[in-house]
């Protein structure tokens, strides 16, 4: 099969939640393509068991440049601040609103403060991340790109995660609404929708692998394996690149075919 390479040299990319998991893979992929990558996360140290250096240092070891800005995406002012910080490197060209939080609770078990927190991080982080990046792109006259991290839960309800599903459904519509409003400025907005990915987000990798092996899932995965963070990173780079220049407002599933059924 053929291989794909991307060139983001001279561009600045912000990745929220870039310290671990999917965000770290996305940051490293953009670094490998020559970008300056700002990891905007509440913590610098990775949580991945196989990662022993912060993402910004790992990016420095690629063709790109890595930076870290402590960022709580539930705070709109913090998102504006990290976009402002990108001016040191020419300003944001690609915004990846990836940071997220997961809770597992039923309709009756979800506490009001948990509901508010998960919406502030997942939906609010995407909404205000889009707004801060887009406002800066418009001010600078840059036709940049925005990629949000949605989920298979954007379209499919799963038991005992009603509040999480609600936030990811919100990310889907934030993506479409922003794409519509920003099209006149040449700014494209899309989202990736990961399925079961081999990260510690939500449940452990071991638990996810056991569920796949046992067929103990809400629906089977046609490709019969967990996805990897790199699988998602490849989709993000595609959507951010000129190869997707006529694509906006899309929800791009990266789920091994899970949504087919």
For residue range 196-219, what is the model confidence (pLDDT) as tens digits?
898 876 667 777 676 666 666 677
How many domains is the chain partitioned into structurally? 1
The answer to whether position 3 is within a domain reads no
Map tokens 């940051």 to a residue: 27
Pick the catalytic residue: 6, 68, 102, 164?
164
The answer to whether position 146 is within a domain reads yes
**68: annotated active-site residue:** no
> For residues 158 and 143, is the Cβ–Cβ distance under 8 A?
no
Q: 108 is in which domain, residue-wise?
A: 12-256
The answer to whether position 6 is within a domain reads no
| Residue from 226, 221, 217, 218 nearest 199 by CA | 226
For residue range 7-22, what is the model confidence (pLDDT) as tens digits?
999 999 999 999 999 9
Question: Cα separation of 32 and 28, whole Å?
Answer: 6
> For residues 200 and 48, is the Cβ–Cβ distance under 8 A?
yes
Q: Say what the pLDDT of residue 50 is.
A: 79
CATH number at residue 199: 3.40.50.720
For helices 124-140 and 76-85, angle between their N-to-C axes, nearest 10 degrees: 40
When pLDDT is cut at 50, 70 and 90, the band that residue 261 belongs to is confident
For residue range 158-196, what is the model confidence (pLDDT) as tens digits?
889 999 999 999 999 999 999 999 999 999 999 999 998
The answer to whether position 4 is within a domain reads no
Q: Please give the average per-residue pLDDT across 145-154, as a whole number.
A: 96
Q: Say what the pLDDT of residue 203 is.
A: 64
The answer to whether position 229 is within a domain reads yes
Contacts 24+ apart (CB under 8 A), 173-180: 174/123, 174/126, 174/127, 174/130, 174/148, 175/126, 175/148, 175/150, 175/249, 175/250, 175/251, 176/249, 178/130, 178/134, 178/146, 179/248, 179/249, 180/249
Q: Say what the pLDDT of residue 43 is.
A: 96
3-class DSSP state of 111: coil
């Amino acid at each position: 099969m053929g291989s794909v390479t991307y060139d983001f040299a001279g561009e600045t990319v912000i990745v929220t939640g870039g310290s671990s998991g999917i965000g770290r893979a996305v940051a490293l992929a953009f670094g490998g393509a020559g970008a300056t990558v700002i990891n905007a996360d509440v913590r610098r140290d990775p949580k991945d068991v196989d990662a022993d250096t912060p993402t910004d240092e790992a990016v420095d070891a690629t063709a790109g440049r890595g930076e870290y800005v402590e960022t709580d995406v539930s705070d709109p002012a913090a998102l504006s601040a990290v976009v402002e910080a990108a001016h040191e490197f020419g300003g944001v060209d690609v915004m990846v609103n990836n940071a997220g939080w997961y809770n597992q609770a039923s309709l009756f078990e979800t506490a009001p403060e948990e509901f508010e927190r998960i919406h502030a991080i997942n939906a609010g982080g995407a909404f205000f991340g889009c707004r801060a990046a887009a406002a800066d792109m418009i001010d600078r006259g840059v036709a940049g790109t925005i990629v949000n991290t949605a989920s298979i839960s954007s379209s499919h309800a799963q038991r005992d995660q009603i509040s999480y599903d609600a936030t990811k459904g919100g990310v889907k519509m934030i993506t479409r609404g922003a794409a519509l409003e920003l099209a006149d400025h040449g700014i494209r907005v899309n989202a990736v929708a990961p399925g079961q990915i081999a990260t510690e987000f939500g449940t452990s990798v071991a638990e996810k692998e056991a569920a796949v092996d046992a067929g103990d899932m809400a629906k089977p995965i046609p490709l019969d394996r967990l996805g990897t963070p790199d699988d998602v990173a490849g989709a993000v780079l595609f959507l951010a690149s000129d190869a997707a220049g006529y694509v906006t407002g899309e929800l791009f599933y990266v789920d091994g075919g899970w949504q087919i059924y």
